[in-house]
Homo-oligomer: A and B are copies of this chain.
């Protein structure tokens, strides 16, 4: 990457950072382009070289931050030797929830945007930008996907449930705090997977555990 491209990248990131900071502190609506460029330390026109408008940068931010969340969760998963798919899923969800608990600002921003649409976009555009190879992550989780009927529907339901539930529980402790909610949530996720299962876990599955170790 030459000097010019490096500089472009720097400006783009400065705008991203400024926008994220402002969107999460004052809200998208009350954040103006002027605010963003002032904070990013670039000229007004520069903004329009990189983004169409406020909503463009917001969408790109959502995709960016979402994929980061998944990437982190995937990375953490790889540090473990969990083998059972069901356990992997629970681990990922738990990790993501914990990320949100740690960074409520992030949750406020991504909020209900951690939806299937965004997730799908991340998958499809994978490799397009600087975003990671999400497709890999997704498939690494569902490499044994043959075991499920309609795995896409299954993932969809899990994402939507977790996304919506976290928002309320983490940010407002409504109807209960997230820790109190977790057992029920994980049970629901577990049940969704069970409902989609085509074959019962067999000894050979257990054998795979052995491989992991």
Binding site for B on A (CB under 8 A): 29, 112, 115-117, 120, 150, 152-154, 156-157, 160-161, 163-165, 167-168, 172, 174-176, 180-181, 184-185, 187-188, 191-192, 194-196
Contact = CB atoms under 8 A, between A and B. Distances in A.
A69 to B, nearest CB: 18
Contact of A117 (B117, B165, B172, B185): B172
Contact of A160 (B152, B161, B187): B161
Contacts of A161: 157, 160-161, 164, 188
Given A163-B164, A187-B195, 16 more contacts: A115-B167, A116-B168, A117-B168, A120-B174, A120-B175, A153-B180, A156-B165, A156-B174, A160-B160, A161-B164, A161-B188, A184-B196, A188-B191, A188-B192, A191-B191, A191-B192
Contacts of A168: 115-117, 156, 160
Number of this chain's copies in the assembly equals 4
Contacts of A165: 156-157, 160
A176 to B, nearest CB: 6
A164 B196 contact: no
Most buried by B among A115, A188, A192: A188
Contacts of A152: 175-176
Given A156-B165, A157-B188, A174 B29 contact: no
A117 B111 CA distance: 14
A184 B194 CA distance: 11
A160 B164 contact: yes
Contact of A29 (B29, B115, B153): B29
A163 to B, nearest CB: 7
